[in-house]
Structure 1
Amino acid sequence: MNDTTFITTGDGVRLAYRLEGEANKPVLVLSNSIATTLHMWDGQIAALTEHFRVLRYDGRGHGQSDAPAGAYSVDRLGRDVIELLDALGFERVHFLGLSLGGYVGQWLGIHAPERIDRLILSNTSPHLGPASEFDARIAALQTSPDMDAAAETFLANWFPAAMIKAKDPATEPFRAMVRSTTPQGLAGNYAAVRDSDLRRTIALISRPTLVIAGKDDTVTLASHGEYIAAAVPGAQLVMMEAVHLPNVEHPDGYADAVLNFLLG
């Protein structure tokens, strides 16, 4: 099944997902960065489906999923994953989340460890602040005529300047992803990040965990990855020479890090 399909959550939100790979393989869930769609993983699918049945989805507020009004919470985003797994009959999965997806992964590791086999937390943080910064971003979305300015800001935060200046073809789909995100959906997800502080509770994560961080990441700093790896018992840390989306900057190295951990 390579087509996008939908489930409806308990609170009436339609979530888009794709399931790729052979049905007899273990399931790996991929969860996206804020302001992207399930296509942010396009460059990894070939490598990952050799070993896994890959389930990726548009988080609420993104892509083809609904973008309800109001603040979202990481708790709700985590429950969306549980409902997706329940709908598809998947009892236990590997989970890889990047950035906002990493917040979701931390929540799952804390609150639903029985559903997770191995956990990968990539370019993420247990807490980002101050809250006033997110409030300002949410307010700006209400007056902005379109998402063009937001797209340029995100790209500058996600990729090395040289990649953007060269108009690297790998970056162009990401500009389109941000532009297609609704202000309402982005605001809801900003609120979820603003209101989350997992710094103490991630010590409760008991699943085998890999943390991937970018040495030059200005969004979720390398030190945030180091913090998570130190707080989660037995966690491994891979530090990549990358900014915020190492899966795009270094697709082969990223796939290697993921597969070495999951297959090891």
Structure 2
Amino acid sequence: MHIADFGDVQIHYRLDGDPDGPPLVFANSLGTDMRLWDPVLPLLPKGLRIIRYDKRGHGLSSQPDGAYSMGSLVRDAERLLDFLEVRDCVFVGLSIGGMIAQGLAVKRMDQIRAMVLSNTAAKIGTPSMWADRMAAVRTGGIEALAEATMERWFSKAFRETPDVELWRNMMVRQPVQGYLGCCSAISGTDFYTPTSGLRLPTLGIAGSEDGSTPPDLVRETVDLIPGSRFELIRKAGHLPCVERPEVYAELLNAFLRETGHI
């Protein structure tokens, strides 16, 4: 485990694979930590420099007070990649992680040569929807959203397995301040215009059973970027890397080959 201390925030990150290999960066969803990618990592090619991190307010990263902006989340990723001297990475972002990917690609094209927008969008939900969710968390904790969130995150078949409890527990144990802060960041983000100006290889991934970012929403965002490709993973919800890791890794590995990253 490593901590990058940027003064206003401390970011927990992990390095796996070949320290001299081509960099592959993962950013996870609201309510999860870097373990989200555990099922996929063993299925990736050898020789990659794999970088994972907990965004602010999640996992073992620090929890600054107040609402977070998407700009601060993007800046955290930017500073971490500068700290690690990363250039020309493939950046894989899921949900809010995919929003961070879009923002970072607009800001720092030297850091990202290609990206995977997984179960995400240029704009997710509405400010009123996020305000309602944040109010529920302030009243009843993250637990108040847990059941409804599991229904959006996972297919019915997966929710009937014991494994769903692992992800439910991960969600409700995130710091409340960090969860609320990231809800604020999503609520205030509309990347339709900046994302439509991007010109880099992009793979979009959606889950057929995703109740948070339905396939049509993901496709709409991916279609903003000329030359992008969209893939649908069937029998999976918002976290297809958990439900269908083999299929997810197959799509990711093919994209890495197509872009000349491996």
TM-score normalised by length of structure 2: 0.94
Give structure 1 regions of 4+ aligned residues with deviation exceeding 6 angstroms.
Answer: none
> What is the alpha-carbon distance in structure 1 between the residues aligned to residue 115 and residue 137 of structure 2?
33
1:221 aligns with 2:214: yes
Are 2:37 and 1:44 equivalent residues in the alignment? no
Q: Secondary structure at the match of 2:110?
A: helix
Equivalent position to 2:257, from 252, 260, 263: 263
* 1:229-248 matched pairs, under 5 angstroms: 229-241=222-234, 242-248=236-242
CA drift at 1:149: 3.2
Among residues 161, 170, 173, which one is paired with 1:177 in the alignment?
A: 170
SS of structure 1 residue aligned to 2:223: helix
The equivalent of 2:22 in structure 1 is 26
CA distance in 1, matches of 2:214, 2:41: 26
2:100 aligned with 1:104? yes
SS across alignment from 1:197: coil
SS in 2 for 1:72: coil
State the Cα distance separating 1:222 from its structure 2 match. Answer: 0.8
Q: 1:49 Cα shift?
A: 5.5
Q: Which residue of 1 aligns with 2:188?
A: 195
Equivalence for 1:6: 3
8 Å Cα contact 1:212/1:238 also seen in 2: yes
Q: CA deviation at 1:110?
A: 1.6
**Unaligned residue ranges in structure 1 (runs of 5+):** none
Task: Name the Cα RMSD after superposition.
Answer: 1.4
Inter-partner Cα distance in structure 2 for 1:251 and 1:153: 23
Q: Distance in 1 between matches of 2:221 and 2:142?
A: 32
Is contact 1:48-1:54 (8 Å) kept? no
Is 1:152 the counterpart of 2:113 in the alignment?
A: no
TM, length-normalised to structure 1: 0.93
- 1:211, 1:237 within 8 Å by CA — same for their partners in 2? yes
Does the CA-based 8 Å contact 2:151-2:211 persist in structure 1?
A: no
Give 1:89's match in structure 2, choosing from 85, 90, 104: 85
How far, CA to CA, are the matches of 1:76 and 1:165 in structure 2? Answer: 37
- Between the aligned partners of 1:209 and 1:51, the Cα distance in structure 2 is 22
Letter in structure 2 aligned against 1:91? R
State the Cα distance separating 1:215 from its structure 2 match. Answer: 2.0
Amino acid at match of 1:213: A
1:45 CA displacement: 1.3
What secondary structure, in the 3-state scheme, does the structure 2 residue paired with 1:43 have? Answer: coil
Choose which of 31, 34, 38 in structure 2 pairs with 1:35.
Answer: 31
User: Residue 113 of structure 1 contacts residue 205 of structure 1 at CA under 8 Å; is this kept in 2?
Assistant: no
Q: Which runs of 5+ in 2 are unaligned?
A: none
For the Cα contact (< 8 Å) 2:137–2:144, is it kept in 1? no
Aligned residue in 1 for 2:129? 133
Residue 67 (str. 1) matches residue 63 (str. 2): yes
The percentage of aligned residue pairs carrying the same residue is: 35
- 2:160 corresponds, among 143, 165, 169, to 165
Letter in 2 for 1:164: R
Partner amino acid for 1:194? Answer: S
